[in-house]
Structures are given as structure tokens and as C-alpha cells.
Amino acid sequence: MSPSSKPIVIKKIEVRLLRLPLITTFTTGFGTINYKETVVVRLEDSDGVVGWGEGAALSFPNYSPETAITTYLGLKEYLLPSIVGKRISGPEGLDNLYSQVKGYHFAKTAIDCAMWMICSIKSQQSLKQLLGGKSESVAIGESIGIKNSIDETLEEISLRLDQGYQRIKIKIKP
């Protein structure tokens, strides 16, 4: 049963494929990226409660076979139509509704996140409370793309540490 103890009925759905420009380019071993494609889902239940979720697949299938475009299509064609108007026991009840659809993990995550948001709002509990979280804080991190020199990389690391980032991931190449 959903954390609100009442089944959720999704009445309205919306899915958007976004292409957002990056403030600075990001270089990896796969190339230079100057935008971020992502998919967002908006679910609205029969009580008018809205939840948002993101399917954060990359634009190119170099990390996962799922991309932003396949996430969008999977949501629009297969997953979202299977949940509209159905009585859902909460996020844990979603798998039964689209069990016939294989893959599309990023797409399914977008729906899960939107459903958890709806449950959080309806139960008037934070997501941390719903999931039984204990920690009062979360260490934040930053990923730094490949720079032109070691000195430039070290400058970027220093800047991020000064900004309070506690974890830093760097991209390198031979």
C-alpha cells in the first residue's frame, strides 16, 4: 500500500525531452559535451497532487544502451499509458503494471521518482522519512572534466574544495 495508505490513481501525465545548455563544456574520454539531454515526467493524481521525476540517461549509448531519446519513447509509448487510470498501491506497485516492458530502467526511475514525490506530499512526510533514512546530511561532490593541463585540473579541484564540495571525481586521459 502507498505510504498514504490509499491507492493512487494517476489522471494526467506529461513527459518532456529537454536539451539544456551547459554553462561550461565538459570533456570526457568519449568527447566534449556542451549540453545535457534529460527527460522529465509529470504525474498528477486524482486528488490533484503532482509529482515530478527525471530519467537521466545520457544522449549517446556509451554508458548504457538507454539514451534520453529511448527513455522518452519508452515512457510515451509503453510505460506511462500502462499506469494512467489504474489504482496503484504506491511506487512498489508500479512494477506489476509494466512488468511486460523489459529494460527502460531510466524511464522506470523517472516514474518511480514522481510517484515517491506524490506519496511524500500526500503523507506529509519527507522522502527521507518515507524511506527510513537516518543521516541528517549528505556529502556533495563534483565531477571535473578533462582539462588542458594538470595545473588547470588542480585549480579546478581547489576551487571546488573552497566551494565546500567534499568529494571530487576527475576525468583523465593518457
Residue 3 lies in a domain: no
Task: Identify whether residues 145 and 120 lie together within a single domain.
Answer: no
pTM of the shown model: 0.85
Task: Identify whether residues 95 and 27 lie together within a single domain.
Answer: yes
Task: Identify whether residues 109 and 155 lie together within a single domain.
Answer: no
Task: Identify whether residues 120 and 50 lie together within a single domain.
Answer: yes
Q: Do residues 87 and 7 touch, judged by C-beta distance below 8 A?
A: yes
129, amino acid identity: Q
**Euclidean distance between CA atoms 120 and 93, whole angstroms:** 16
Task: Identify whether residues 126 and 145 lie together within a single domain.
Answer: no
Task: Identify whether residues 122 and 69 lie together within a single domain.
Answer: yes
Q: Tell me the three state secondary structure of residue 99.
A: coil
Task: Identify whether residues 52 and 83 lie together within a single domain.
Answer: yes
Provide the CATH number for the domain around residue 58: 3.30.390.10
Task: Identify whether residues 41 and 69 lie together within a single domain.
Answer: yes
Chain CA centroid to CA 119, Å: 17
Residue 53 lies in a domain: yes
pLDDT band at 3 (very low <50, low <70, confident <90, very high): low
Q: Tell me the three state secondary structure of residue 49.
A: coil
At 154-172, the pLDDT tens digits run 999 999 999 999 999 999 8
At 72-117, the pLDDT tens digits run 999 999 999 999 999 999 899 998 888 889 999 999 999 999 999 9
Task: Identify whether residues 65 and 94 lie together within a single domain.
Answer: yes
Task: Identify whether residues 19 and 49 lie together within a single domain.
Answer: yes
Residue 65 lies in a domain: yes
Residue 1 lies in a domain: no
Task: Identify whether residues 81 and 113 lie together within a single domain.
Answer: yes
Residue 136 lies in a domain: no
Report the number of distinct structural domains present in the chain: 2
Residue 151: which domain range?
141-170
Task: Identify whether residues 127 and 158 lie together within a single domain.
Answer: no
At 10-33, the pLDDT tens digits run 999 999 999 999 998 999 888 889
